Chain A
């Protein structure tokens, strides 16, 4: 019972505090919201781009071109062998006939090029798909190394270069977003902490009196922490509303352009766990900001 009524006391005192300093509270909420909107815009942009890399990755295969001398039996054996290599998700056999059909299909009216040849010059190949976590430069290199020396494999080809470039760009953007996010988070922390410091200062008489009658630090400080958490939560909800409205507006206005830019599929907003993390980040920002303010108020007292 004691802890329940104590919790109620803390909540009441925190809400009291917010109400008695509406302007500073609004500034803190606005700062947290602004920070989170900027971080959220980056997050949403990255989310769309990671979607492309994922989709491209699904189409990415490594082709192992096989020596002409292998018969069907040997090809199947090799395919089985390759499918046991670590990181390989699936292996598809492309026979020489199949290769020719594909070539003719792709070459269209220039298919006549091969007409003069008596024999099909195309080799059979294995199309090797990698498990999703292996679809990186390193993963491909590991695969190449593992199958390179196998008898019957003449040549290995893969089109992963642009995926790597894209991945690197994405990594770079993630780094920039993280750095910017950090800067904004620090700025927000500073402002939140100063806001709470003002609130602490405005209520120093109350703090002094509470301390005089034997209130513990926790008893005095918890309402301020709660204030910070409430401000942070309110700020993150506000930011989510702004982001969502912006997202709807942009997709309505630029839907087709966006769809083209990010490849197939519609632009996506944050999912439930991401929204939860977002609100948690806001609450955390408010909590840490007020912790530092209350801490420095204690040291000054």
Chain B
């Protein structure tokens, strides 16, 4: 019963017999076993309702599993106390389909938020946010409000926010679901670049063209059950 997809690399994430049911008797995830190596780029696929979002939410401790253990960096987060959740999240960047940017803050403040919550001094927050925005090509927009940006630009801001704290793990839930095909590639290239620099990346998507283009390891979910699909 060893977790599926054991790789030669050191694992950053392992799941053992993880199940999640929101309602009694109905499983969103069922007996999921997996291992994700450090620096891997993994696609999580499956039809709508298969449990992709649930799996990601378990990883950043937005939900607790009903059964099983989830080991991230050697620590079981299945029974994490509420007060330990922020510390875990500072090691994980998360990107969503709907960007989740604060409309009342500037682009730079949104990116800096991930550092500000750790208590970094404002000057350092600003300079790191600026450098990160430069990496995603949006430094000239740093004083704008997110609404004044296009969807692709907003997602680049969200990625900058997710990466500015140099997380070990980047989780992206349908990050290109709201974007045109060419913007999709732009965003995916940014995400793949993070993996190339050593960040472990999990991308949930039902877009098979992405999977084919990047030809990486694929975890396929079907009605809450996991099957490895390979590149």
Contacts and interface: CB of A to CB of B under 8 A. Distances in A.
Contacts of B113: 209-210, 213
Interface stretch (A1-9, A28-36, A140-148, A284-292): A1-9
Contact of B119 (A6, A205, A206): A6
Given A212-B89, A214-B89, A9 B102 contact: no
Contact of B114 (A1, A2, A208, A214): A214
A244 interface: no
Nearest to A219: B117
Contacts of A81: none
Contacts, number: 53
Contacts of B88: 214
Interface string A189-217: 00000000000000001101111111111
B100 A205 contact: yes
A277 B86 CA distance: 37
B117 A209 contact: no
Given A2-B119, A6-B119, A212 B60 contact: yes
A212 B95 CA distance: 10
A206 B60 CA distance: 18
B100 A214 contact: no
Interface in B82-125: 82-83, 85-90, 94, 100-102, 104, 113-114, 116-122
Given A6-B119, A219-B117, A214 B102 contact: no
Interface in B141-196: 161, 165
Interface residues of A, number: 20
Nearest to A16: B104
Contact of B121 (A2, A210, A213, A216): A2
A213 B161 contact: yes
A199 B194 CA distance: 37
Contacts of A217: 82-83, 86
A215 B112 CA distance: 12
B66 to A, nearest CB: 19
A215 B122 CA distance: 16
A76 to B, nearest CB: 75
Contacts of B90: 213-214
Interface of A: 1-2, 5-6, 9, 16, 20, 205-206, 208-217, 219
Interface of B: 60, 82-83, 85-90, 94, 100-102, 104, 113-114, 116-122, 161, 165
- 8 A-B pairs with least C-beta separation: A214-B89, A214-B90, A215-B117, A213-B114, A216-B86, A214-B86, A2-B119, A209-B100
Given A2-B121, A5-B122, A216-B83, 18 more contacts: A1-B121, A2-B120, A9-B116, A206-B104, A208-B100, A209-B100, A209-B101, A209-B113, A210-B117, A211-B86, A212-B60, A213-B90, A213-B117, A213-B165, A214-B87, A214-B89, A215-B86, A216-B86
